[in-house]
């Protein structure tokens, strides 16, 4: 511990510059909080310079943060996205979204390098409470931006078919210069138009389905709910077609019990049993798909769970009368829950059309099939707001991580339980809870 301008420096952390792509402008910790860490906890911060970061170098230096390229003096380094292999240093602690917990093949070389260097890895995605709910996340902002971009895609899809609708006016998230306030104000104006003039009869009923009900789904619903929305249960979808309104949008939220059922004819659905033994269940979600105009995929998925929509189902559906126009695949699991999500996209080219007959994709909104919105870094489209909220959620854990004694045995490591459970690697070895990843290495 040393004295620096009247403040005892008890620990030091680094913040890595994000450079995965031109859209990645987020930060894990905002200047306001970095200032408080120094004043309240004696934590000094060094941040790498960046020309694209949403918070400028000056905003950090003005609150006493050191802005420099070299982070070698920092034992603990925070970032947002994956870190290049050549950045890691021996025996240091790294806190970021590693995208390794599903055994993602493209990040196994990175994980191996961290193991070779005996690094510690804390993954934001695994910071959860006793009920398994995530405590540090960008999910709401993925939902917010994803819903806006999906509504934009729907408007463009209809425009390509020669149908004029209020949705044609919606822009992509990145084209609202004042970000969330401007988005919400614009959607309020569109709400008035729908209430007064209605939606073209050829489109009604417009039904938007949400697979999932977590933070991502809540963010997406927050946007849709600005428009005139009437929520219905999955059981009532068919009834809406008998007497649909053209002055509202219908919203349906699907939970696990709506999407799957036991394979055994004598079985009953139990949520925890489904999580533990998904092989005992089959998907029944496709029975709802013919009634949906837009599907928002907001669920966590890996290969042990049933898919929501398969290529075979879409191929066997009457294409001329296909109601489903757009899938907002916010989760973006390639060939996953939405089997025909063939690739992820970027904000400047966010959608493509999947043709189930030819099993091909075409960039843009025109063509036979279904439009897929698959931007995999949606919170980047609202970088300042999402960084602020993320830093808020991480705030209470930073001092504990920065001051932790990482030289002792893992069993003796003193960290808040949600953080300790999020330690993927310790001294370069997979921790007991994450040894399953070894089979992917």
Which tens digits make up the pLDDT trace of 158-189? Answer: 999 999 999 999 999 999 998 999 999 999 99
Query: Are 154 and 59 found together in one domain?
Result: no
Per 3-state DSSP, the chain is made up of helix, strand and coil in percentages (nearest 5) of 35, 20, 45
Name the percent of the chain lying above pLDDT 90: 92
| Structure-token match 């290495």, residue found | 441
Q: Name beta bridge partners: 286.
A: none
Q: Name beta bridge partners: 134.
A: 128
Whether residue 125 lies inside any domain: the answer is no
Q: Residue 4's pLDDT is what?
A: 46
pLDDT band at 20 (very low <50, low <70, confident <90, very high): confident
Whether residue 134 lies inside any domain: the answer is no
Query: Are 84 and 193 found together in one domain?
Result: no
Q: What is the pTM of this model?
A: 0.90
Q: 422 is in which domain, residue-wise?
A: 2-118+384-432
Q: Residue 319's pLDDT is what?
A: 81
Each residue's pLDDT tens digit, 325-377: 999 999 999 999 999 999 999 999 999 999 999 999 999 999 999 999 999 99
Name the percent of the chain lying above pLDDT 70: 98
What lies within 8 Å, CB to CB, of 357 at 6+ separation is 315, 319, 368, 369
Query: Are 143 and 46 found together in one domain?
Result: no
Query: Are 268 and 415 found together in one domain?
Result: no
* Residue 99, pLDDT above cutoff 70: yes
**111 φ, ψ (degrees, to nearest 5):** -65, -40
Whether residue 326 lies inside any domain: the answer is yes
Cis-peptide, bond into residue 106, ω within 30° of zero: no
Q: Are 18 and 24 in contact, with CB atoms under 8 Å apart?
A: yes
Query: Are 327 and 391 found together in one domain?
Result: no
Query: Are 101 and 182 found together in one domain?
Result: no
Whether residue 441 lies inside any domain: the answer is no
Query: Are 247 and 286 found together in one domain?
Result: yes
DSSP classification of residue 345: B
| Residues 285, 305: Cα–Cα separation, whole Å | 13
**More confident of the two residues 2 and 334:** 334
Counting the structural domains of the chain, the total is 2
Whether residue 24 lies inside any domain: the answer is yes
Whether residue 123 lies inside any domain: the answer is no
Query: Are 348 and 291 found together in one domain?
Result: yes
Whether residue 133 lies inside any domain: the answer is no
Query: Are 263 and 393 found together in one domain?
Result: no
Query: Are 189 and 300 found together in one domain?
Result: yes
Query: Are 312 and 426 found together in one domain?
Result: no
Q: How far is CA 112 from CA 58, 92, 119, 404, 440, in A?
A: 36, 15, 10, 24, 11
Query: Are 338 and 412 found together in one domain?
Result: no
Q: Residue 417's pLDDT is what?
A: 95
Q: Give the mean pLDDT of 110-114.
A: 98
One DSSP character per residue, 99-166 reads: --TT--GGGHHHHHHHHHTT-EEEEGGG-B-TTS-BSS--HHHHHHHHHHHHHHHHHHHHHHTT---G
CATH code of the domain covering residue 73 = 3.40.50.720
Whether residue 374 lies inside any domain: the answer is yes
Buried b (16+ CB within 10 A) or exposed e, 299-310: bebeeebbbbbb
């Amino acid at each position: 511990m040393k004295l620096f301008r009247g403040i005892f420096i008890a620990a030091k952390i680094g913040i890595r510059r994000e450079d995965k792509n031109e859209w990645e402008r987020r930060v894990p910790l905002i200047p306001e909080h970095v200032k408080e860490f120094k004043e309240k906890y004696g934590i000094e911060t060094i941040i790498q310079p960046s020309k694209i970061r949403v918070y400028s170098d000056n905003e950090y230096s003005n609150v006493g943060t050191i802005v420099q390229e070299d982070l070698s003096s920092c034992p603990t380094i925070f970032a947002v996205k994956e870190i290049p292999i050549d950045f890691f240093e021996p025996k240091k602690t790294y806190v970021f979204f590693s995208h390794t917990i599903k055994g993602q093949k493209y990040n196994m070389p990175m994980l191996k390098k961290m193991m070779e260097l005996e690094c510690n890895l804390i993954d934001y995605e695994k910071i959860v409470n006793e009920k398994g709910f995530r405590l540090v996340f960008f999910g709401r902002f993925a939902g917010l931006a994803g819903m806006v971009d999906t509504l934009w895609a729907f408007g463009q899809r209809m425009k390509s078919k020669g149908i004029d609708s209020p949705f044609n006016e919606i822009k992509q998230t990145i084209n609202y210069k004042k970000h969330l306030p401007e988005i919400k104000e614009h959607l309020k104006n569109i709400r008035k138009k729908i209430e007064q003039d209605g939606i073209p009869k050829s489109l009604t009923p417009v039904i938007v389905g949400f697979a999932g009900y977590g933070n991502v789904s809540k963010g997406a619903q927050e946007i849709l709910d600005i428009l005139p929305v009437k929520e219905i249960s999955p059981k009532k979808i068919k009834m809406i077609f008998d007497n649909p309104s053209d002055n509202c949008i219908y919203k349906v939220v699907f939970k696990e019990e709506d999407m799957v059922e036991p394979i055994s004819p004598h079985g009953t659905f139990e949520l925890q049993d489904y999580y533990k033994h998904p092989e005992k269940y089959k998907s029944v979600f496709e029975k709802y798909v013919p009634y949906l105009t837009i599907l928002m995929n907001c669920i966590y998925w890996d290969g042990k769970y049933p898919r929501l929509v398969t290529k075979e189902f879409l191929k066997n559906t009457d294409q001329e009368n296909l109601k489903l126009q757009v899938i907002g695949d916010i989760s973006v699991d390639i060939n996953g829950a939405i089997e025909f999500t063939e690739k992820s996209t970027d904000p400047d080219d966010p959608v493509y059309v999947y043709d189930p007959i030819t099993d091909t994709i075409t960039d843009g909104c025109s063509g036979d099939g279904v439009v897929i919105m698959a931007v995999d870094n949606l919170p980047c489209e609202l970088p300042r707001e999402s960084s602020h909220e993320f830093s808020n959620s991480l705030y209470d854990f930073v001092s504990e991580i920065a001051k932790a004694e990482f030289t002792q045995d893992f069993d003796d490591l003193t960290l808040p339980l949600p953080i300790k459970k999020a330690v993927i690697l310790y001294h370069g070895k997979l921790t007991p809870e994450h040894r399953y990843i070894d089979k992917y290495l």
